[in-house]
Amino acid sequence: MTFSHKRMSATAVVAILGATMLVGGAAQAQDAEFKTKQAGDILIRGRVLGVVPDEDIDSNTLAGEGRVDNDVIPEVDFSYFITDNIALELIAATSKHDVTWNDGKDLGSVRLLPPTLTAQYHFMADQRFSPYIGAGINYTFFYDSEPGQFNSVKYDDGFGYAFQAGFDYAISGPWSLNVDVKKIYLNTDVSVNNGAVNADADLDPWLFGIGVGYRF
């Protein structure tokens, strides 16, 4: 399956939810008062994420390459506004992915916990529609791995980095809708059967998110 097909299938639910939320929220928000983004605000969002690995997995002993499937998950993130325009965001979510080799070998599954901290710049902080961009760091924990047809499969935890873009659309008072896209660059070394087979894996997932935020 190509990356474009993977991305479309993983984000279909997110896109449908997003369209429904945005249309309904925009209609309600036309005349409602809203809270502008201000220094000292704490913003909590709940999102639905489509996690789409853009993987490149090569092995020193196996011909071909590995494949990692998509996941759709809930996510919570917390932002603190240092100024009206600058904020720090921390996301918390976990996903599960099946891993296969393109010749049919089953490498089981693994769960990822990738806390990510980004620094953001929010444009038009005093407007109802406020886009933003961000960049930051990530540390991914791999856990609860199942080895599939092998005796063991181990993934090394490690640091990565992230970029993001998105926007908030104020609905009423402190409530807002959110659309967010992140790209996380993440590499891990994979050891199969205690080192009998090794692989270098660039997972590099895209995260497509739709959600609702509340600002304190």
Q: Name all domains of the chain by residue range, CATH numbers in brackets.
A: 3-215 (2.40.160.20)
68: Cβ contacts below 8 Å, ≥ 6 apart: 53, 55, 57, 97, 98, 99, 203
Q: In what order do the strands lie in the sheet with 187-192?
A: 56-59, 197-202, 187-192, 153-155
Tokens of 171: 């609905």
- Of 215, 134, 146, 214, residue with least CA distance to 182: 134
pTM: 0.82
- Cα separation, 171 vs 201, in Å, equals 41
State the amino acid at position 46 in one-letter form.
G
CA distance 84 to 43: 12
pLDDT of residue 60: 79
Reduced to 3 states, what is the DSSP secondary structure of residue 96? strand
Cα 176 from chain centroid (whole Å): 19
Return per-residue pLDDT of the chain as tens, 216 residues.
Answer: 554 455 555 555 455 455 545 545 454 445 568 999 999 999 999 999 999 999 999 887 877 788 999 999 999 999 999 999 999 999 989 999 999 988 788 999 999 999 999 999 999 999 999 999 999 999 999 999 999 999 999 999 999 999 999 999 999 999 999 999 999 999 999 999 988 888 999 999 999 999 999 999
Q: According to the model, what pLDDT value does residue 58 have?
A: 87
CA distance 46 to 27: 21
For residues 201 and 101, what is the distance between their CA atoms, to the nearest angstrom? 12
